[in-house]
Amino acid sequence: MKKIIKFIMVVGALALLMPACTLDKFPTDRIRLEEAFRTFEDATRYHNGLYNELRRNRYCIFTTTSELMSDLFNARHGFGNRGGAVHRVGIELSGSAEARDIWGNLYGSIAQVNFFLDGIAYVEGLTAVQDSLVRNMIADAHYIRAFLYSELAAHFIYPLQNQTTTWNGHSVNTPELGLPLVDRYDVSARPGRATIAETFEFILRDLEAATAVTRLYGGPTQRRITLDAVHALKARVLFMMRDNVGAAHYANLLINSERFPLVTTIPALRTMFHNDNSPEDIFMLDATTTSFGRRAIYNPTVAWTEVNMSIFTAFNTGLQAYTADFIPTQTVLDLYEATDIRYTVFFSDTAVHRIDFAGRTPAIRMMYKFPGNPALGGMFRHRQRMHRIAEMYLIVAEAEQSVTRLNQLRVARGASFLPTWDEQAMRDEWVREFIGEGFRIQSLRRWGIGFDGRVPQDRDAVHGYGDIAFTARHVTPAEISRFFTLPIPTNDLQTNPNMRQTPSWR
């Protein structure tokens, strides 16, 4: 019991790069590594806690922020300014709760990974079987840290197209400011920012260490990190680095394994997203009806709502109607062909889902991709999906300009066959497949394009029709490096003398 209490103290209280007042409350010597890690059972408890760190950083603001900043959604009339700062895509980002909490929580979780990696060396008396299991735990920790840093990179740094070097055979963008890199548990550390090249080198080293995992494919109910999951993350990271050859290599490994067949029917696609069960899932986290409490209302000042996607599908019991804060633009809906099964599954049926807009019930379709898994009690709760095979198809399609891979995904979803490569069709396919899943801003940055307005389904149903901060918001290519990259939170700049703000936000 004492060790469990100690673990709770560490997870709840000690977080790297968090505000100084938090660090001052808890002495750094409250728990010593050599005391926390003694037995295999100690290692197992801490290791299980690392999976919680993944859960804390998926869905809710960690996924929705990118979507709300983009051209894919309109704020509903009466949305209560939930997510408003990021949706307006302006100077308010510098003080937004989303930037603060994404940064702080990801680094807090990195601190826990480092605590585990530092402490595991103190475990003694392992049997041969236990030693093998511990090696898998260590590989897991490296995957988790690589994932956490990849999420920080996706939100806070902006790799440039034409400034590259190579590391271990991979192209790495170099001169711009990257992330503070921390590989030891030290709550008093105040690191400065490394370069982008050093940041991606760090992530790739963790991914190399993660390949030591011996777990292989375990079927669609696999809830632990496997070598497939490592390869999926490696494909994503290399794609972020604009190493198209490397990204396509790892993505093709997963596609060609034939372990993750694409679904082709409405029931199968609905089961994938509404029930969190699909052969397409490479790695999905487990969840219960009580994971992290039962918070179901989106709160942009609190990041611990990681399973909550209600901002797209909120339901008001008093009105007996849906009151989603953000609804897809008409431009999004127009991307889908009549035969595309995703349109039926991803968006509400206006004849079934009554949607209220300040007392009106227009024929508006909301995104119904995350309505809440009934096995988890509804409440907009889902198992957090880490990787699915459709991302691999699109990585290869874009990296290799492969109309074959693009068509394999399109045809599986009921869309038409493309006779030749079509760049815009590839870009649109990222939207059709991954709307609401946090890929949009990365995609726009990668393509070097902004957006011009957010065309609403119904001008009277959305907030700020014609307002330059809402439906008329546009971001030019020259503004991408600023408004599509979150600023370093103000508090971290004030409490860490070694921290530097991203130049475009100074």
Evaluate if residue 165 carries a pLDDT over 50: no
Evaluate if residue 204 carries a pLDDT over 90: yes
SS (H, E, C) 364-409: CCCECCCCCCHHHCCCCCCCCEEEEHHHHHHHHHHHHCCHHHHHHH
Helix H or strand E segment including 87: helix 84-88
Strand spans (E) along 76-208: 164-167, 170-173
pLDDT tier, 353 (very low <50, low <70, confident <90, very high otherwise): confident
pLDDT tier, 308 (very low <50, low <70, confident <90, very high otherwise): low
Helices (H), 120-156: 128-156
Query: How far is it, in rounded angstroms, from Cα 71 to Cα 64?
Result: 13
Maximum separation of any 2 CA atoms in the chain, in Å: 68
* Two structure tokens written together for 274: 């509404």
Rg (CA), the chain: 22
Query: How far is it, in rounded angstroms, from Cα 324 to Cα 77?
Result: 10
- Return the pLDDT at 266: 98
- Could you give the angle at which helices 128-156 and 61-69 cross, rounded to 10 degrees? 20
Over residues 75-100, the pLDDT tens digits come to 998 898 989 999 999 888 888 889 99
> Helix, strand, or coil here: 3?
helix
Evaluate if residue 287 carries a pLDDT over 50: yes
Average pLDDT over residues 196-200: 93
Phi then psi dihedrals of residue 452, to 5 deg = -130, 85
- Return the pLDDT at 288: 78
- Return the pLDDT at 221: 67
- Yes or no: say if 263 and 280 are a contact pair by the CB < 8 Å rule: yes
14 or 69: whose pLDDT is higher?
A: 69
- Yes or no: say if 366 and 324 are a contact pair by the CB < 8 Å rule: yes
Domain residue ranges in the chain = 1-214+466-506
- Could you give the angle at which helices 440-447 and 61-69 cross, rounded to 10 degrees? 50
Phi then psi dihedrals of residue 467, to 5 deg = -75, 135
Locate tokens 């700020």: which residue?
A: 464
Average pLDDT over residues 495-500: 94
Pairing of strands 315-316, 281-284: unpaired
Evaluate if residue 17 carries a pLDDT over 60: no
- Return the pLDDT at 35: 78
> Helix, strand, or coil here: 452?
strand
Average pLDDT over residues 179-196: 93
Q: Rounded to whole angstroms, what are the CA distances from 353 to 313, 343, 362, 367, 418?
A: 10, 15, 11, 11, 34
Does CATH number 1.25.40.390 belong to domain 1-214+466-506?
Answer: yes
| Least confident among 84-93, 122-131, 227-236, 270-279 | 84-93
Query: How far is it, in rounded angstroms, from Cα 171 to Cα 245?
Result: 10
- Yes or no: say if 329 and 73 are a contact pair by the CB < 8 Å rule: yes
- Return the pLDDT at 302: 39
Predicted TM-score (pTM) of this structure: 0.89
Query: How far is it, in rounded angstroms, from Cα 5 to Cα 9?
Result: 6
- Return the pLDDT at 166: 46
pLDDT tier, 124 (very low <50, low <70, confident <90, very high otherwise): very high
| Least confident among 8-12, 81-85, 99-103 | 8-12
202 or 308: whose pLDDT is higher?
A: 202
Over residues 60-75, the pLDDT tens digits come to 889 999 999 999 999 9
125 or 21: whose pLDDT is higher?
A: 125
| Least confident among 93-102, 284-293, 396-405, 466-475 | 284-293
Average pLDDT over residues 260-264: 97
- Return the pLDDT at 174: 44
pLDDT tier, 29 (very low <50, low <70, confident <90, very high otherwise): very low
- Could you give the angle at which helices 389-400 and 423-434 cross, rounded to 10 degrees? 170
Per-residue burial over 87-119, b if 16 or more Cβ lie within 10 Å, else e, is bbbeeebbebbbbbbbbbbbbbbbbbbbbbbbb
Greatest mean pLDDT among 189-193, 314-318, 341-345, 363-367 lies in: 341-345
Locate tokens 């590839």: which residue?
A: 426
Average pLDDT over residues 1-14: 38
Average pLDDT over residues 130-149: 97
Greatest mean pLDDT among 49-53, 57-61, 419-423 lies in: 419-423
Query: How far is it, in rounded angstroms, from Cα 266 to Cα 276?
Result: 14
pLDDT tier, 13 (very low <50, low <70, confident <90, very high otherwise): very low
- Tell me how far apart the terminal alpha carbons of the chain are, to the nearest angstrom: 48
Q: Rounded to whole angstroms, what are the CA distances from 398 to 120, 123, 151, 244?
A: 41, 46, 21, 8
Average pLDDT over residues 112-131: 95
